[in-house]
Amino acid sequence: MPYVTPSHPAPPRRPQGRRSRLFAALAAAVTLATGAALLSPATEARAAVAPAAEAQAAAAPSAAAALERVANFGANPGALTMYVHRPAALPVKAPVVVALHGCTQSAQLYADNSGLNTFADRHGFLVVYAETTTANNANKCFNWFQPGDTRRGQGEAASIRQMVAHATTAYGTDPAKAHVTGLSAGGAMTAVLLAAYPEVFAAGAVVAGIPYGCGVDVVSAFSCMSPGADRTPAAWSQAVRDAHPGYAGPWPRVAIWHGDNDATVAPRNADELRDQWTAVHGLGQTPSRTSTLGPNNTRRSEYVTAGGRTAVEVNKVPGIGHGTPVAPGTGPQQCGATGTQHFIASICSSYWITTFFGLDGTTTEPPTEPPVDPPTDPPTEPAACWTASNYEHVRAGRATTTGGYAYAKGSGQNLGLYNTFVTRTLKESPPGHYTIATGSCP
């Protein structure tokens, strides 16, 4: 999904103090899907009846420290709040991990229960917690489906990128060692950041999330969550490449975590994320090796480059619904707490994510490999072009509309105002994926 150029006007930035009735309705509708039912009914019921003693026993081994709020970290076009957890002894040129909470959650709740701070203290890295508000989204979801928040240089994605830059100047973190992870809407926004800012993030971990470029409005967001969108690896990877046209650097490594029993974000999304990021890295969809992790036998599939790097891994957690897998306790591979919703006793995903990022003090990644060019095989079908008004593109199913603007299906490119007076030429390749035609068009 490319950023919007000046010739293609972006939707106006939402006012800080007011919401139009239309946007409020859209936000309320999508948050019913993305936040109010974060857990499957069975899991939510178990959490509701858990005795207080059980919740206390599952709590983190030590009291959680309050996060440090950071003001004036940048222009902040997405109106987010920045918090940090800084270990007592933060080394020079420390890595940084950006953590993105799920719907209905807060930065502090995510910090208290996910277990990330345990490993930040143990291994010496800064954790930046981005937090959204009900002013942005009625249910405190990151707007992973809203084009004005998911494009390079715009909205919430740009605010998070500014947090990473501020961490470098204010805390001395290493800009080459920035990582990002998140749950649900935060997981979907993790995929956004990896696509829109591949030069910023070395790696990311998507927990119960959605592929980049799947949703561009409320209707498509519902469909992306469940049953999920089925696209070819080539189409998914093109969406990532379109997010930063002309980018020629190395692509971030990606870890994917998903519960087998997730009734909110269909487990199929883990496979589509795999298809997207293996194709970006020029890899096939057959794993190079498989293994199991922890006492619950989480199934791991790794996709390894010719140079020996694990570029993509998929971790499917058996027996859990929608949430962050944690394993309360004091053992070296334990972390987190389950005294609140959306944190499920299973396996300490933060331990394995920290290891995947190479931040555990023992993991040594091979040198960064050069980027892989996209496949050059000819498409199975010739590209088709369509010239029409934005109104007709939407009517014909080549575009969608939200907030008074039209967006090309597949790429999500902003076509301008949704009316009969703005005309665009769209190129369809592969089938169902539309981009604004540049240069010659058959």
| β-pairing verdict for 310-317 and 298-304 | antiparallel
Q: Cα–Cα distance between 253 and 250 in angstroms, integer?
A: 9
Q: Cα–Cα distance between 108 and 12 in angstroms, integer?
A: 30
Q: What is the pLDDT of residue 434?
A: 80
Q: What is the pLDDT of residue 56?
A: 35
317: closest CA among 309, 326, 328, 330?
A: 326
Q: Is 184 one of the annotated active-site residues of the chain?
A: yes
262: closest CA among 209, 211, 221?
A: 209
């309320």: which residue's tokens? 28
């998929």: which residue's tokens? 314
Q: What is the pLDDT of residue 383?
A: 61
Q: What is the pLDDT of residue 87?
A: 96
Q: Using DSSP, how many helices (H) and how many strands (E) does the chain show?
A: 13, 18
Cβ-based neighbours of 403, under 8 Å, separated by 6 or more: 11, 22, 23, 26, 148
Candidate list 40, 114, 159, 184, residue with the active-site label? 184
The answer to whether 396 and 386 have CB atoms below 8 angstroms apart is: yes
Cis peptide preceding 442, ω within 30 of 0: no
Q: Cα–Cα distance between 97 and 84 in angstroms, integer?
A: 10
The answer to whether the Cα torsion of 379, 385, 389, 394 is positive or negative is negative
The answer to whether 113 and 340 have CB atoms below 8 angstroms apart is: yes
* Domains annotated on the chain, with CATH: 21-356 (3.40.50.1820), 384-436 (no CATH)
Q: Cα–Cα distance between 151 and 163 in angstroms, integer?
A: 16
The answer to whether 264 and 321 have CB atoms below 8 angstroms apart is: yes
| β-pairing verdict for 203-207 and 253-259 | parallel
Which helix (DSSP H) or strand (DSSP E) does residue 255 occupy? strand 253-259
Quick one: tokens of 233?
A: 């690896």
């480059």: which residue's tokens? 305
Cβ-based neighbours of 306, under 8 Å, separated by 6 or more: none
Question: Which regions of the chain are under pLDDT 50?
Answer: 1-63, 364-366, 375-381
Q: What is the pLDDT of residue 36?
A: 42
Dump pLDDT digits (tens) for 180-206. Answer: 999 999 999 999 999 999 999 999 999
Q: Cα–Cα distance between 389 and 297 in angstroms, integer?
A: 54
* CA 387 and chain centroid, separation: 33
What residue type is 97 in one-letter code?
V
